[in-house]
Copies of this chain bind each other. A is one copy, B any other.
Amino acid sequence: MKWDALEEEPCSLARTIAVIGDRWTLLILRECFLRVRRFEAFQASLQITRHLLSERLKKLVRFGILRRVPYQEAPKRYEYILTQKGLDLYPVIMAMVHWGDSHMADERGRPLLHEHRNCGKLFDPVMVCSECGEVLRAKEVHVHPGPGRRAA
């Protein structure tokens, strides 16, 4: 299966994977959420090869997750800013960070702590039902075919 084929699958997970389902893309997005914007800065903090970084940034721009915005003329230079579509990936990143915190931390504890400005407390992200607000568990969710399901 090729990457483009994934995008066409009648499955929202597959389509998301087609966009962010590789190692470097996810790490680049981490940097974006930490306010990194420029090519050299991404390269320095990630140790990614310039070649791949260039490719991945183009892909993220193509999918509308980053916007390439000039920050100086002569010589023309651009920086990469998260769009709303990109900002909407925050729950994905946070869910992954939280799983890593819970299951992959070493004896010293978490690398980063998160503070919610609105309440001022250190928190964990929790996924709840939009309708009743209860914490979601896999066993309590039932899946139905939706309108966009292609016939098998």
Contact = CB atoms under 8 A, between A and B. Distances in A.
Given A95-B127, A138-B90, A111 B17 contact: no
B97 A16 contact: yes
A90 to B, nearest CB: 4
> Taking each of A18, A91, A101, A147, which has the highest tally of chain B beta carbons within 10 Å of its own beta carbon?
A91
Interface residues on A, range: 35 or more
B21 A100 contact: no
Contact of A119 (B16, B111, B129): B129
A34 B91 contact: no
A100 B16 contact: yes
Q: Which of A97, A110, A129 has the most CB of B within 10 A?
A: A129
B27 A90 contact: no
Interface of A: 1, 3, 6-7, 10-23, 26-27, 30, 33-34, 46-48, 85, 87-106, 108-119, 121-134, 136-138, 140-150
27 contacts: A1-B46, A1-B48, A3-B23, A12-B99, A12-B105, A12-B111, A13-B93, A13-B97, A16-B99, A16-B104, A17-B23, A17-B96, A18-B104, A34-B143, A90-B136, A91-B95, A91-B98, A91-B99, A92-B95, A112-B143, A113-B143, A113-B146, A114-B141, A114-B144, A115-B144, A123-B131, A125-B130
